Chain A
Amino acid sequence: MRWRPEKSYLSPQTDKFLLLVLLSLFFLIVFTALVFGAEVEPLKQASSQTPWWVWPLVLFVVTFLLGIVAVLGGVGGGVLFVPIVGGFFPFHLDFVRGAGLLVALSGALAAGPGLLKKGMADLRLALPIALIASSCAIVGAMVGLALPTNIVQTALGITILGIVLIMLMAKKSEYPEVKKADALSTALGIHGIYHEASTGDDIPWKIHRTPQGLATFILVGFMAGMFGLGAGWANVPVLNLMMGAPLKVSVATSKFLLSITDTSAAWIYINNGAVLPMVVAPSIIGIMLGSIVGVRILAKTKPAAIRYIVIFMLLFAGSRALLKGLGIWK
């Protein structure tokens, strides 16, 4: 059966559901910031009237919604979690980053099995990348924990906004044209066929620019570890735009990749004490439950819808992180 790219659109049911998720997330964050946004002074007499349990509860709800959106965008949740929680909650960025990695990891663990079984995530594509990215994530995590917070916050914002620009400027890439697989990907046996559920087509794929892509993952892994973001924010563009993997294969493999990259960086944060159970536990539970819901939706969505969701969330989160790091929006 011949296939060709279709004009992308959202099904009415998915459209309404996604809109509901985004609006809920937006209003929840704004409401929380307005009502409970009093700055908590550490180690002074508790002057905040906010009961301690409010923040973990809001965290649970926010991360559940993030879990749904993160699967659809292939960005692991960490890239949304860190700037949003770091910007609107009273937790120090060290703990937010530690939690962010564990959140991204958990979302990937929840989504990974289904994506691997369906053949949407490709193990042979992921493994070489994972080795490079996870090694560099360790280095990034150690550097990130050593740097002053405002520097990390500012750099975080710039990074996220940079990714938004790249995604906005990139051409449509649901099915990139790869004329010929390069020698490295051929030698590694990186190619496949996946079944596109929305169109009913079987889509063969191969990749190119493999050496360049692998080299890029050095930087991706380092930044993922440093910012506690996970790595999905860069995995998808590199896999899709640089290496030419179809968008859904890129999104699915990216999600799976997070489970490996984030594991190495997360252990650095755990072993350096930057993990607070009252922050981590509700976040992980929330995002894992959200991710399970997100996987069920992924196969039924159109590729273009995924990109729009990611762009919107990243723009919001990145702006906040940058302005906070610069001391403009405290």
Chain B
Amino acid sequence: MAGKMKATEEQLAYAKILDIGMKLGLLMLIITFIIYLLGILSPHIPVDDLPKYWGLSVHKYLEHTGIHPGWAWLSMIGRGDFLNFIGIAFLAGVTVVCYIAIFPIFIRKKDSVYTILALLEVLVLVLAASGILRAGGH
């Protein structure tokens, strides 16, 4: 059809990785959540105690549960509740992978502006994920 929109090479590459990443992340989340619900791995916070904590501010929640912020959850993935962070972190990280994938396409096309845009975005996302940035409590 004349004039029909065709997605660009980088658009298709981004979409493909996004699709795979989304499905993998969702699958991980479903599996780990089932493990959590079934109690196969003991959670850090017993499910019956959750109502005591989910009404607290995050500051008080961390204080009362002894949970450390940042990437400390990695040391707790043996717990049923924190195992879910694997899927959560994967879903939050898919976009970074997509950007890295389209980066060489922009370079090959000599699209310098979008090469720089993609690089800057990767840096922003990595900074956000690094755990360096902490918010004050209220």
Complex Cα spacing A42 to B53, Å: 6
Stretch at the interface among A63-71, A174-182, A282-290, A300-308: A282-290
Please tell me if the beta carbons of A113 and B117 are within 8 angstroms of each other in the complex.
Answer: no
Q: Is A223 an interface residue (CB 8 A)?
A: no
B 1-38 to A, binary, CB cutoff 8 A, 1 in contact else 0: 11111111011101110110110011001101100100
Cross-interface CB contact of A271 among B50, B64, B71, cutoff 8 Å: B71
A113-B18 contact given A42-B52, A119-B5, A277-B81, CB 8 Å threshold: yes
Given A42-B55, A263-B125, is A116 in contact with B15 using a C-beta cutoff of 8 Å?
yes
In the bound assembly, the distance between CA atoms of A263 and B90 in angstroms comes to 11
| Smallest CB separation, A192 vs chain B (Å) | 6
0 or 1 for each of B54-74: is its CB under 8 Å from A? (1 = yes): 111110111010011111000
In this complex, which of B11, B12, B32 has the most chain A Cβ atoms within 10 angstroms of its Cβ?
B11
Taking the closest CB of chain B, its distance from the CB of A158, in whole angstroms, is 19
**0/1 per residue, B89-119, Cβ < 8 Å to A?**
1011111100000100000000001100110
Of all chain B residues, which has the CB nearest A260?
B95
The count of chain A contact residues (Cβ–Cβ below 8 Å) is: 80
Does A210 count as interface, using CB distance less than 8 angstroms? no
Asked if A26 CB lies within 8 Å of chain B CBs, one says no
CA distance A122 to B15 in the complex (A): 11
Chain A residues with Cβ below 8 Å from B69 are 271-273
With A52-B47, A123-B10, A284-B29: A266-B121 Cβ-Cβ less than 8 Å = no
10 pairs from A and B in contact (CB 8 Å cutoff): A40-B54, A95-B54, A95-B58, A142-B134, A148-B138, A192-B5, A202-B5, A276-B50, A281-B88, A288-B26
With an 8 A cutoff between CB atoms, is A43 at the interface? yes
Return chain A residues, CB-CB under 8 Å to B82.
277
Q: Is A52 touching B120 in the complex (CB atoms < 8 A)? A: no
Contacts of A106 in B (CB 8 A): 22, 26, 91
Inter-subunit contact A275/B88 (CB<8 Å): yes
A35 vs chain B, min Cβ distance (A): 16
Bound form: Cα–Cα A130–B124 in Å: 10
Partner of B25, one of A109, A135, A138: A109
Contact B128 A263 (CB under 8 A): yes
CA distance A330 to B30 in the complex (A): 33
Contacts of A251-302 to chain B: CB distance below 8 A = 259-260, 263-268, 270-282, 284-285, 288
Given contacts A105-B92, A112-B18, contact A149 B57 (CB under 8 A): yes
A138 to B128, CA, bound (A): 7
**CB distance B84 to A124 under 8 Å?**
no
| Residue contact B4 to A90, C-beta cutoff 8 Å | no
Question: How far, in whole Å, are A259 and B10 apart by their CA atoms in the complex?
Answer: 16
The reply to whether the CB of B129 lies closer than 8 angstroms to some CB of chain A is yes
Q: How far is the CB of A280 from chain B (nearest CB, A)?
A: 6
The answer to whether A265 touches B124, judged by C-beta atoms less than 8 angstroms apart, is: no
Which among A102, A105, A124, A282 is the interface contact of B33 at CB below 8 angstroms? A282
Kindly state the separation between the CA atoms of A145 and B136 in the bound complex, as whole angstroms. Answer: 7
Which chain B residues lie closer than 8 Å to A37 at the CB level? Answer: none
Determine the distance from Cα of A43 to Cα of B54 in the docked complex, in whole angstroms. 10
Asked if B131 is at the interface (CB within 8 A of a chain A CB), the reply is yes
- With A94-B57, A273-B69 known as contacts, the answer to whether A259 contacts B95 (CB < 8 A) is yes
Instruction: Indicate if the CB atoms of A145 and B84 lie closer than 8 Å.
Output: no
A127 within 8 A of B: yes
